[in-house]
């Protein structure tokens, strides 16, 4: 920072850190990895241009975003942050589906517990006809199949692969 200890960017680029160094406020010397990864992905010149084009009050957020995106690009060079977002959206979808299945199973159990409340004047044939025509049994069969099947979803494609 203009004298005693150069910022992380000036250390990495092996240059003297000027008082008006654009990187100094955002890349302190005690966190060299932060600038190294941003430099590796975006380049020091591009980062310098981006920071100079922004108002001073937005630069901290911009650096934070650049560091996040650079880390994501190192982990996933093709998709970066989009890959992480897509993966999380698919996880949310899977959990919502599991929740819907669980809620339906609870409803089925509750409906089964209420079955004995059928009128006593019905004979056995009427009860079995009523239950066999009920779509509730079909739903139970479907749910038992769905809960026993494994669904694998590719985080970057929005389609299911059944195993």
Query: Where exactly are the structural domains of the chain?
Result: 8-75, 79-112
24 in Cβ contact with 2 (< 8 Å):
yes
pTM of the model: 0.57
State pLDDT tens for residues 4-39: 689 999 999 999 999 999 999 999 999 999 999 999
Distances (CA, A) of 14 to 9, 11, 30, 82: 8, 5, 16, 34
9 in Cβ contact with 18 (< 8 Å):
no
Strand partners, 161: 152
Joined together, the tokens standing for residue 57 give 């009050």
Rounded to an integer, what distance in angstroms lies between the CA atom of residue 39 and that of residue 101? 47
């Amino acid at each position: 920072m203009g004298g005693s200890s150069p910022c992380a960017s000036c250390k990495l680029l092996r240059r003297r850190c000027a008082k008006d160094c654009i990187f100094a406020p955002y890349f302190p010397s005690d966190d060299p990895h932060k600038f190294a990864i941003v430099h590796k992905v975006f380049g020091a010149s591009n980062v310098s241009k981006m920071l100079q084009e922004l108002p001073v009050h937005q630069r901290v957020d911009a650096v934070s975003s650049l560091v996040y995106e650079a880390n994501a690009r190192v982990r996933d060079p093709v998709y970066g942050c989009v890959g992480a977002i897509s993966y999380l959206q698919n996880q949310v979808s899977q959990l919502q589906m599991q929740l819907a299945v669980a809620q339906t199973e609870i409803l089925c159990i509750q409906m089964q517990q209420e079955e004995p409340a059928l009128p006593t004047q019905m004979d056995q044939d009427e009860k079995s006809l009523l239950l066999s025509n009920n779509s509730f049994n079909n739903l139970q069969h479907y749910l038992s199949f769905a809960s026993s099947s494994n669904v694998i979803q590719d985080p970057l494609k929005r389609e299911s692969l059944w195993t």
